[in-house]
Structure 1
Amino acid sequence: MNTSVFSRPLLFLDLPGHGKNKEIIPEKEQISAYADWLENEIKQREITHFDLVGHSMGGYIGLEMLQRTSSGMDKLVLFHSNYWEDSEERKKNRDRIGAVVRKNVRIFLNESIPLLFHVPEKYPSIISDIINRAAAMHPDAIVHSAQSMKNRADHRALVAMHKDRVYSIQGEFDNLISAKESEEDWPGHFEHFFIQKNCGHMSHIEQPDASAETLIKMLEN
């Protein structure tokens, strides 16, 4: 995605245990623990108002921030993310992730990362790079993230309460989140919901220009 088209400064942060951030992962297996970390990072930079684009798990963190009047967040974009609690089946799958990751993280990543793309065959080098970077993470960080997502609450009422501030971008062919179900269940303003065509869970890679255009319409109007 070409970030130069945005008129305001952008801040990209790696969560604890993710990417280049080698900070110790939070003690609590809760999304709120990551929100605590994010709020602290923002305050340290003396940022008083901001919009948050939360991809996947980042959207769950954004929903936690939405509840905090002191956070300074103006708009939240759920970018290939959702607002509902995991189903019981999904929770069991999160638990299975821990067992697989601790046994052989490469098996988990080689199976799961390609599923994030609508046509993974088009992005072999990018997928390989993502797998390599994820494999460098400590297994505990991956398990902690999975468990935190499993433990999150349902936020339909929260989105409805803040519908003027919450937006959603979903991938037409996302294997993790059904775009159709998301649209039918969306509790916010209909004009704040958008389905990105011809992509899965990674529209910023699969449809970078279209994704940037959609984000600009949401954040800069």
Structure 2
Amino acid sequence: MIHFFEKGSGQPLVLIHGFCESGRMWNYFAEELSAYFRVICPDLPGFGDSPIFGDQISLEEVAVQLEEWMEENHIHDPIVIGHSLGGYVTLALLELMGSGLKAIGLFHSTAFPDDEEKKEMRNRTITFLKKNGVEKFVTSFVPPLFPENRREELSAEIQAAIEDAKRSSLDGLIAYAGAMRDRKDRVEILRNFKGPKLLIAGTEDGAVKIEASRAQQDAFSHYIELHGVGHMGMVEEREKTVEVVREFCLRSL
């Protein structure tokens, strides 16, 4: 069962959160965009209030669950935008549903698979989680998602992100660390999609390097670079990014 909240009416806009997050991260976006769209924010299985059964899952399985959830809730021809892991899920959904999606957007995410260094980091994450649990992991994982020179300024936002991350299940964190490690290259799937495609990248993003974003820039119809921004542009530059998303979605109609 997928827990979600929604606000507004009209064209469905599904916002998919990232690793160590939940649908709550999109509260501001839902509030601002609900005047224009039916904004729907699910908790992926294993995060927030959505259960997961076991500590293994693939992005393809998550996409199937989301497609069924959308059918049950009459979410047709949606625009889907995902942050980080949510972007990987969005691309898996794109492979599954194709032209059943009106448009897609990636927030600090990539169609490239993990390289060997990143795969090894995922393995270390799984080992750490099994040994130390959720709370110890998220308190060390979340702050570096923000640029070091803004962590004091954004301390309240960082603390809120940590508290939301603590709601993640241990099985969920282990499962998605493995799913991200094992995900496939979806650059061609992205290129072949004829609908509007948005990529928002941060020049200071430590999780998805700006070089990787620039390397796939030509696969997108809309590419936005946020200077001085890390992995959390929707928090670091929330007014600017919500306007980018609003304009992209309106143009996609």
Q: Structure 1 length normalisation: TM-score?
A: 0.90
The sequence identity of aligned pairs, in percent, is 26
* Partners of 1:77 and 1:167 within 8 A in 2: yes
Matching residue within 127, 147, 152 for 2:178 = 147
Contact 2:234 2:241 (C-alpha < 8 Å) held by counterparts: yes
Which consecutive unaligned segments of at least 5 residues does structure 1 have?
none
Aligned-partner SS, 1:10 = strand
Alignment-derived partner of residue 14 in structure 1: 43
Instruction: State how many pairs are aligned.
Output: 219
Q: Match of 1:210?
A: 240
Task: Report the alpha carbon displacement of residue 14 of structure 1 after superposing the two structures with TM.
Answer: 0.4
Pairwise CA RMSD of aligned residues? Answer: 2.0
Counterpart for residue 196 of structure 1:
226
- Partners of 2:117 and 2:58 in 1: how far apart? 19
Are the structure 2 counterparts of residues 27 and 39 from structure 1 closer, same or farther at C-alpha, using a change threshold of 3 Å?
farther
What's the counterpart of residue 48 of structure 1? 76
Contact 2:145–2:207 under 8 Å retained in 1: yes
- Note the C-alpha offset of 1:111: 1.9
Shift of 1:28: 4.9
Alpha-carbon distance, 1:101 to partner: 1.1
Contact 1:52 1:75 in 2 (8 A): yes
Q: Which residue of 1 aligns with 2:89?
A: 61
Unaligned stretches of 5+ residues in structure 2: 1-27
Separation in structure 2 between the aligned mates of residue 155 and residue 46 of structure 1, nearest angstrom: 27
TM-score by length of 2: 0.80
Q: What is the CA deviation profile of residues 104-135 of structure 1, one whole-angstrom value per residue up to 9, with x for unaligned ones? A: 23332222101111222222222223223322
TM-aligned CA distance change 1:43 to 1:63, over 3 Å: same
1:70-219 matches, cutoff 5 A:
72-104=100-132, 105-118=134-147, 119-162=150-193, 164-189=195-220, 191-219=221-249
Give the 3 Å change call, closer, same or farther, for CA 99–86 of structure 1 in structure 2. Answer: same
The question of 1:34 aligning with 2:62 is answered yes
